[in-house]
Amino acid sequence: MIIRRFSDWPTWDWRSPFDELERMRRELDRLSGDFTGSVFRLPTAGVFPLVNVTEDQNNYYVRAELPGVPTDELDISVTGETLTLSGERKLPEESDKSSYHRREREAGSFSRVISLPARLDVDKVKAHAEDGVLTVVLPKAESAKPRQIAVKSS
Amino acid sequence: MTESETKSLQAKEKKEVTTPAELTKPGLVFNPAVDIFETERELTLLADLTGVKAKDLKVDLKDNVLTLTADETPLEGSGEKDVIREYRTGTYYRQFSLSDTIDQSKIEAVLKDGVLRLTLPKVEAATPRKIAVKVA
């Protein structure tokens, strides 16, 4: 079948007129990526604390970086599918006679709700903190675990 | 008078940095947030080094340059798959040039809950002594 070109503009192809724009967008993405270095910006919720959520067959693991927050000041609560982390980071007062050269660490309150893709076994949730990293282990509810289905061949 | 309310913490991503000398292991390098303040007798540095164990922290003072290097141990087990990843782990690195002379033998470092407190006492001669001016 003969395909007629509707115009002799070299970049316009009737199949996908957006090809050229797509290519330009990819080039610009690549250029802007070079400015930020080897790490592309991770999409975050923009709420403190930033978390990493991982899963294996039985559990979800939620890890958050919370330096200097003692565990008894952390408020962790779990409902069927969500985890709420709240608390406050305080910076201890130093003596009056100190003069600051730099002040980069911040103090303040935080609260974050993280919803997980599957139902959780609320009674078995455990949490521990080590070196300023909080790890919460959330077991999945039995109904949410994948079940292997055996295929019978007759 | 209104009560001042605690402001809420903003989420900040870790600041990636390129070091003058490459580290032997490949990976990301971050600048940790630090507070530095000084009193008459000592300089104190507080750094947020999450996920760092004491054995992985190196503090070096050479030619008045203080170097902090610390490897973060990632906690994920091998069978875990990522669902959400908002921060990365890597190595913390920061260098400071110190103006005062520090008594190197008395440097103290305490690492607790991911916060490093480094106390650098000044050499005795550098602590300012008040000189009384007598009127003749």
Is B136 a domain residue?
Answer: no
Is B52 a domain residue?
Answer: yes
In this prediction, residue B7 has a pLDDT band, given cuts at 50, 70 and 90, of low
pLDDT value of position A134:
92
Is B3 a domain residue?
Answer: no
Q: Are strands B15-16 and B52-62 parallel, antiparallel or unpaired?
A: unpaired
**pLDDT(B1) > 60:** no
State whether the Cα torsion A22-A23-A27-A28 is positive or negative: negative
Question: If you search the block for the tokens 């935080």, which residue do you land on?
Answer: A110
Range of the domain at A67: 51-88+108-142
Of B9, B36, B50, the CB nearest to A133: B50
In this prediction, residue B19 has a pLDDT band, given cuts at 50, 70 and 90, of low
Widest CA span in chain B: 82
Q: Does B114 contact A at CB distance below 8 Å?
A: yes
Asked if B11 and A60 come within 8 Å (Cβ–Cβ), the reply is no
Residue with the larger pLDDT of the pair B4 and A133: A133
Asked if B28 and A39 come within 8 Å (Cβ–Cβ), the reply is yes
Summary mean pLDDT of chain A: 79
Question: Distance (Å) from the C-alpha of residue B78 to the closest C-alpha of chain A?
Answer: 9
Is B2 a domain residue?
Answer: no
Contact list in A for residue B46 (CB cut-off 8 A) is 105
Specify which residues A62 forms β-bridges with.
Answer: A53, A136
What's the pLDDT tens digit per position in B24-75?
777 788 889 999 988 888 889 999 999 998 888 988 888 888 899 998 888 8
The SS3 call for residue B66 is: strand
Q: Does A46 contact B at CB distance below 8 Å?
A: yes
Count how many domains chain B has. Answer: 1
pLDDT value of position A11:
53
Range of the domain at B117: 28-75+87-126
**The pTM is what?**
0.71
Question: Distance (Å) from the C-alpha of residue A46 to the closest C-alpha of chain B?
Answer: 6
pLDDT value of position A71:
83
CA distance B127 to A113: 50
Tell me how many residue pairs between chain A and chain B have CB atoms under 8 A apart.
Answer: 158
**pLDDT(A98) > 60:** yes
In this prediction, residue B134 has a pLDDT band, given cuts at 50, 70 and 90, of confident
Is B18 a domain residue?
Answer: no
Q: How many other C-beta atoms lie within 10 A of the C-beta of residue B135?
A: 3
Is A44 a domain residue?
Answer: no
**pLDDT(A103) > 50:** yes
pLDDT value of position B117:
92
Is A58 a domain residue?
Answer: yes
Q: Does B88 contact A at CB distance below 8 Å?
A: yes
Q: Does A103 contact B at CB distance below 8 Å?
A: yes
ipTM over cut 0.90: no
DSSP annotation of A28: H
Of A105, A108, A111, the CB nearest to B7: A108
pLDDT value of position B3:
42
pLDDT value of position A36:
45
Here the CATH number for the domain that contains residue B71 is: 2.60.40.790
Is B6 a domain residue?
Answer: no
Q: What angle do CA B36, B37, B39 make, to 5 degrees?
A: 150
DSSP annotation of B31: E
Of B53, B75, B114, the CB nearest to A68: B114
CA distance A97 to B40: 8
